[in-house]
Structure 1
Amino acid sequence: MQLRYRVSSGTLTLELDDDATVSQLFESLKSSLGQSAITVKYGWPPKALSVADQGDVTLKSLGLQRESLTVVPAESSSVEAPKSIQQTTTTSTTNSSGNQETGIKGQDIRVKLDDKDTTLVLRVMPDDNSCLFTAVGGALCGVPLTENGLLDFPAEQYAPETLRRLVVDCIRNNPHKYTAAVLGQSPAAYCDKMMRPDTWGGEIELSIFSDVFKLEFSVVDVKGGNIITIGEGNCYNQRCVLVWSGIHYDRVVEVLLPDEKHTEYDITRWPTEGCDYVLEGARKMCKTLRDDHHYYTDTSDFIIQCNECGWVGQGEKALTSHVTITGHLNITEITDNST
């Protein structure tokens, strides 16, 4: 079996037996890279392999022989960065949540839907590490196109801190479903971290919101235009649409008046049957975000450097961990055209 994997310096290959396990993969990678602690991610959104929980599982049973893996130093590792990265100068700056400062804040991103005589608008969420919770909360408060499936919850139920508590309660109340293998760490550690306002939410949180509120969540990836739908196949009759830049969630809404400025009139939920026009419009929006604004970051590839202490890391989790531990906010992204 030949596997492809990416590191900060490029793409490499690794030869393994056809029945190789996750543990054998880690040992081979550590030996090849000369690193004692690594994190291996696969899929989209990126998921981390766990030797503790998946060590004896074969790579083929996980379908990893068809994946291009991403390998980064473990968050607790003090591995020295390759010289090619250390000598690189940076050209694009990022703020504390990783969004490029040359992004879309303050800009009006919209797509006119001619067939519907309405307009899709991107509601940009604050860069406060709670973008997913704010995006979902606003979608739950918004106006649906039909009265079917209206949510009977008080407005304060949608605040980020309340939605975080909802996630934690759901995990604690369903220990057989949300195991360490699913969460990537012990449920207790995951819940403790999720209650901190500097912890990002992701697919696990969306799946919980989908189950609790009986909604589908379609997430459009800016870089590739791909769409994943959480809750699909559960016969839910409404759907929300989010945009994912690789490090940040924003909310897609529909407005009836092209110059509508009041968000209380936003349509944020659509019937699951017949809302393909919204997804196609969101794809067009993401193409504009990608081509005209470079509003995306590949979290499995992006290399970041702290200008305050010289630390270099790769990926979303490493960035979040460094900012949380040190409080350093002067972070830059090292890009391919920086050399």
Structure 2
Amino acid sequence: MNMQAGLKSTSGRMLRLRCKTKNGSHVMQGLTHQSCVQELKSKVEELTGIPCNVQKIMVGYPPSSLDLRNLDAHLKDYPIKSGDTLIVEEEKNKPKPQDHPIVKAPHLKLSPELARRVVPADNSCLFTSVYYVVEGGVYDPACAPEMRSLIAQIVSSDPAAYCEAVLGKTNEEYCSWIKRDDTWGGAIEVSILSKFYQCEICVVDTQTVRVDRFGEDSGYQKRVLLIYDGIHYDPLQEQIPSSDAPPQTIFSTTDDIILAQALELADEARRKRQFTDVNRFALRCMVCQTGLVGQKEAREHAKETGHTNFGEV
């Protein structure tokens, strides 16, 4: 089977390929100089029925065969000009596609994965985790005292905003309390650090599978992620498996895909029961050794005795 085609330019770099066969004339549109060889061969097969792997395409006078083995090459890389005639023949000595199908090996490209980066459960996991994500993946267990002091300075500088109704204790008592290494950080501290670092801090809860977004309405451009199991915080990071590339811990606040991935991670942890029910978990006051159950009893005990050092049983 032979086919002659007049190649004529239309607007810009658009090409129009006119195919003439025994059954009539066909116009092939949609090709440009940026089109690849595979697109050309597919169009030819569509119009003529000649399978791509047995096409022999020639151009010029006398006609010379084009080397079209690189299917990703662009038409601009070949000596095809407006007004040229392409001659397409079927190579009889080549096997048909159904005889020897060509199977392309898949191009494997590893995608980044969101994962938990475990930090020590040393009463300062929140501060270590926040420092890790806002600093772009820098782990520094010695950062906690500095961050505690930073929070105390911010709170003491604005006693009107940080009053007893907000803190649960007087401004002065809170500032002394937060600087101790046996106290835990929570929502108040996350909110303060979000303002200080000018970024949205998203905390994904593994028990409820919800995300609490601190700084959501502040117009920040950056977002960092933590995962929380009821008593412990860990940072979340995105990293390519088996790669030495540094992890990514800072994301855009417009990236909702990363939030969906974080919730999937939390849901997986929930299904594996990787959380602590803070209303039922057993505690012991490390000062007087009183046994307690849940946060409510711990708070009441702290108000009555002034003891704030608790350990999980």
Using the size of structure 2 for normalisation, the TM-score is 0.57
**Structure 1 residues 121 and 168: alpha-carbon distance in aligned structure 2, compared to 1, 3 A threshold:** same
Query: Match of 1:288, as an amino acid?
Result: E
Does the CA contact (< 8 Å) of 1:238 and 1:269 recur in 2? yes
C-alpha displacement at 1:260, in angstroms? 4.0
Question: Residue in 2 aligned with 1:188?
Answer: 172
2:276 match: 297
Which of 247, 256, 268 is the matching residue for 1:276?
Answer: 256
Matched, 1:259 2:253: no
Q: Which amino acid aligns with 2:112?
A: T
1:175–1:302 distance in 2 versus 1, CA, 3 Å: same
Q: Secondary structure at the match of 2:237?
A: strand
Shift in alpha-carbon separation, 1:195–1:269, aligned structure 2, 3 A: same
Q: Are 2:131 and 1:137 equivalent residues in the alignment?
A: yes
Instruction: Assess if the C-alpha contact under 8 Å between 2:199 and 2:223 holds in 1.
Output: yes
Say yes or no: does 1:171 pair with 2:165. Answer: no
Give the whole-Å Cα distance in 2 for the aligned partners of 1:159 and 1:307: 25
Whether the 8 Å contact between 2:287 and 2:309 is mirrored in structure 1 is no
Deviation (angstroms), 1:115: 11
Number of residues of Structure 1 aligned to a counterpart in Structure 2: 202
Distance 1:316 1:202 in 2: 13
Task: Select 1:120's aligned residue among 114, 125, 134.
Answer: 114
The answer to whether the 8 Å contact 1:247/1:316 transfers is no
Residue 120 to residue 156, structure 1, CA distance change in 2 (3 Å) = closer
Q: Could you tell me how far 1:279 is from its partner in structure 2?
A: 1.2
Separation of aligned partners in 2, 1:281 and 1:241: 11
- Whether the 8 Å CA contact 2:282–2:292 is kept in 1: the answer is yes
Q: CA deviation at 1:301?
A: 3.2
Residues in 2 aligned to 1:176 and 1:326: alpha-carbon distance in whole angstroms: 25
Which residue identity is paired with 1:298?
D
Please list, as runs of the form range in 1=range in 2, the aligned pairs for 1:18-29 lying within 5 A after superposition.
Answer: none
Residues of 2 paired with 1:125 and 1:258: CA distance? 20
Partner Cα separation in structure 2 for residue 229 and residue 115 of structure 1 = 32
Residues 95-141 of structure 1: CA deviation (Å, up to 9, x unaligned): xxxxxxxxxxxxxxxxxxx9992111101120100000000010121
Distance 1:115 1:280 in 2: 22
Conserved? CA contact 1:218–1:230, under 8 Å: yes
Tell whether the 8 Å contact from 2:177 to 2:183 is kept in structure 1 after alignment. yes
2:114 partner amino acid: L
Q: Where does residue 222 of structure 2 map in the other structure?
A: 238
* Structure 1 portions without partners, runs of 5+: 1-113, 144-153, 333-339
Relative to the length of structure 1, the TM-score reads: 0.53
How far is the alpha carbon of 1:176 from its aligned partner?
Answer: 1.1
Contact kept, 8 Å, 2:128 with 2:139, in 1: the verdict is: no
Specify the SS of the correspondent of 2:279.
coil
* Match of residue 311, structure 1, among 263, 266, 290: 290
> Aligned AA for 2:241?
P
Superposed displacement of residue 242, structure 1: 0.6
Report the Cα offset of residue 297 of structure 1. Answer: 1.2
Identity level (%)? 32
Q: 1:191 to 1:317 in 2, by over 3 A?
A: farther
Query: What letter is aligned with 2:192?
Result: I
Higher relative contact order (CA 8 A, sep 6+): 1
Distance 1:156 1:115, change over 3 A: closer
CA pair 217-312 structure 1, distance change in 2 beyond 3 A: same
Distance 1:209 1:309, change over 3 A: closer
Provide structure 2 residue ranges, at least 5 long, that are not aligned to the other structure: 1-107
